[in-house]
Amino acid sequence: MHIRAVSLDELPVLQDIERAAGQCFRDVGMPEIAEDEPLPLGELARYHHTGLAWVVADDADAPVAYLIADRVDGNLHVEQVSVHPDSARRGVGRLLLDRLAAHARSEGAPALTLTTFTQVPWNAPYYARCGFQLMEDSRLTPGLRKIREREAAHGLDRWPRACMCQAL
């Protein structure tokens, strides 16, 4: 497996990966998350154009996981990281996070941030094992506050959710 930039013709594959990865939320009583539609192709294309979209590809060069990020308040923010269930539990997500961290360092960004569910094992506990720390609400930057407001408006606050940060 190797990491590379996503190509425009692969954007529908990213949607398929996200749909497949989301199904595990059914097992933890979050069917609404499993049924949530992935980002539209136009939005995914924006990440491609900003150079903040990567895939992990298998030996046939087919994407099995992806990460998209935004620049938020001087940091790089993980907007989405999804791993197809057939490739889960093999360190693929961590490879993508490490790639983003290397990119952030090359840009001089001091940290990575993300938002996540706190009580889902492959969310906050996983990110903590990858070096992220929970952020107190009082430490949120204006951009992170806006992200959390959008998430709340989308109904994600039905379950405990928080921001996390990894200093680089």
For residues 120 and 28, the answer to whether their CB atoms sit within 8 Å is yes
Residue 113 — left, alpha, or beta (φ > 0 → left; ψ -120 to 50 → alpha)?
beta
For residues 112 and 168, the answer to whether their CB atoms sit within 8 Å is yes
Q: What is the mean pLDDT of residues 4-16?
A: 96
User: Nearest 5 degrees, angle CA 137-CA 141-CA 143?
Assistant: 115
Q: What is the mean pLDDT of residues 39-53?
A: 96
Report the CATH number at residue 78. 3.40.630.30
Q: What is the mean pLDDT of residues 141-160?
A: 93
Q: What is the mean pLDDT of residues 88-95?
A: 90
Expressed as residue numbers, the domain containing 154 is 2-167
User: How confident is the prediction for the chain on average, in pLDDT?
Assistant: 94
Amino acid identity for residue 139 in this structure? R
Q: Is the model's pLDDT at 148 over the cut of 90?
A: yes
* pLDDT recorded at residue 1: 87
Query: What is residue 55's DSSP assignment?
Result: E
How many structural domains does the chain have? 1
Confidence of residue 13 (pLDDT cuts 50, 70, 90): very high
Q: What is the mean pLDDT of residues 72-92?
A: 93
Count other C-beta atoms under 10 Å from residue 22's C-beta. Answer: 19
User: Can you give the pTM of this predicted structure?
Assistant: 0.94
